[in-house]
């Protein structure tokens, strides 16, 4: 019912030529995949070249961030119309690294989500607790705060254009994956929240990805959970072979 979505977040990696080489190899490896939505998120500088490389393929383009204003005196920022212009269908918003290092808040996430939707870009909204928050029993409070803050003011139709990515911060880049049961527990909690903030229909239809040390070895077990609809992959998306394996495990 929910089409799985596997997205590769390349973070601060890959020059243009490296990005094109990775995409070319990936395109060949996943050419026969039809039942999974495949997304890559290169750095801003490689978006145009990757877009040309994926033309006519089953791979979709995402950016890793967007600014909330369309244009103006905001040195260094990139807007939703610009991302649309370069070929993006998706944009990652509120990644924990942006919350941690660049002062992203629920309010700025919410503004960016609205800016993206206004230009027909689909937001991948990231939420997730830190280790200390999990250990002190605050996981649900933090997830509630990130989810309700990020999606505030969206209509049901707008929210259904979004994807939520649950990425426990303690599992990102650490090799420490959440267990399938831990992922399922939080994904199910998020659906419960969506029932309250929006509707039962939205709660059932919205796709929720898991992210945090997803690898070919653990992908199928995570994807087998009833409320896990895909993965947001960091490290393992930097090689065509491992990312393609994850896509094919769905
Ligand atoms: P890793 O897969 O490297 O843990 O990164 C996850 C992530 O942050 C994806 O956005």
pLDDT tens digit sequence for 95-144? 999 999 999 999 999 999 999 999 999 999 999 999 999 999 999 999 99
Does the beta carbon of 214 lie inside 6 Å of ligand 1?
yes
Gap from CA of 213 to ligand 1 centroid (Å) = 6
Catalytic annotation present for 167: yes
Does the beta carbon of 169 lie inside 6 Å of ligand 1?
no
Name the nearest CA neighbour of 117 among 193, 47, 66, 192.
Answer: 66
The CA distance from 175 to 159, in Å, is 31
Name the nearest CA neighbour of 154 among 190, 94, 199, 192.
Answer: 199
Residue 50: predicted pLDDT: 99
Is the predicted pLDDT of residue 249 greater than 90, yes or no?
no
Residue 201: predicted pLDDT: 97
Does the beta carbon of 211 lie inside 6 Å of ligand 1?
yes
Residue 176: predicted pLDDT: 86
- Smallest CA separation from ligand 1 atom 1, residue: 234
Gap from CA of 29 to ligand 1 centroid (Å) = 21
pLDDT above 70: percentage of residues in the chain: 100
Token pair of 190 as six digits = 């998020």
Q: State the closest ligand 1 atom to the C-alpha of 235, by its place in the atom list counted from 1.
A: 3
Residue 163: predicted pLDDT: 98
Q: pTM value?
A: 0.98
The CA distance from 73 to 249, in Å, is 45
Gap from CA of 13 to ligand 1 centroid (Å) = 13
The CA distance from 217 to 223, in Å, is 12
Q: Between β-strands 122-127 and 163-166, what pairing exists: parallel, antiparallel or unpaired?
A: parallel
Reported as a pLDDT band with limits 50, 70 and 90, residue 1 is confident
Residue 93 C-alpha from the chain's centroid? 8
Q: Between β-strands 5-9 and 230-233, what pairing exists: parallel, antiparallel or unpaired?
A: parallel
Is the predicted pLDDT of residue 175 greater than 90, yes or no?
no
- Mutate which of 43, 64, 169, 234 to test ligand 1's pocket (most atoms within 8 Å of Cβ)? 234
Catalytic annotation present for 119: no
């Amino acid at each position: 019912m929910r089409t799985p979505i596997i997205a590769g977040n390349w973070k601060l990696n890959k020059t243009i030529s490296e990005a094109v080489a990775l995409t070319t190899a990936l395109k060949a490896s996943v050419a026969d995949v039809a039942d999974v939505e495949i997304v890559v998120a290169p750095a801003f500088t490689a978006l145009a070249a990757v877009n040309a490389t994926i033309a006519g393929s089953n791979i979709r383009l995402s950016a890793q961030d967007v600014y909330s204003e369309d244009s103006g005196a905001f040195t260094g920022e990139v807007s939703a119309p610009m991302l649309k212009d370069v070929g993006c269908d998706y944009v990652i918003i509120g990644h924990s690294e942006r919350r941690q290092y660049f002062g992203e808040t629920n309010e700025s996430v919410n503004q960016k989500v609205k800016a993206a939707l206004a230009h027909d870009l689909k937001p991948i909204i990231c939420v997730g607790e830190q280790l200390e928050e999990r250990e002190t029993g605050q996981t649900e409070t933090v997830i509630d705060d990130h989810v309700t803050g990020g999606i505030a003011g969206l209509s049901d139709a707008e929210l259904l254009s979004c994807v939520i990515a649950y990425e426990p911060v303690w599992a990102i880049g650490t090799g420490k994956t959440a267990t399938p049961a831990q992922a399922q527990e939080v994904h199910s909690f998020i659906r419960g929240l969506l029932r309250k903030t929006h509707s039962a229909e939205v709660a059932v239809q919205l796709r929720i990805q898991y992210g945090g040390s997803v690898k070919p070895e653990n992908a199928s077990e995570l994807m087998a959970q009833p409320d896990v609809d895909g993965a947001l992959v960091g490290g393992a998306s930097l090689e065509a072979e491992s990312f393609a394996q994850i896509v094919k495990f769905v």
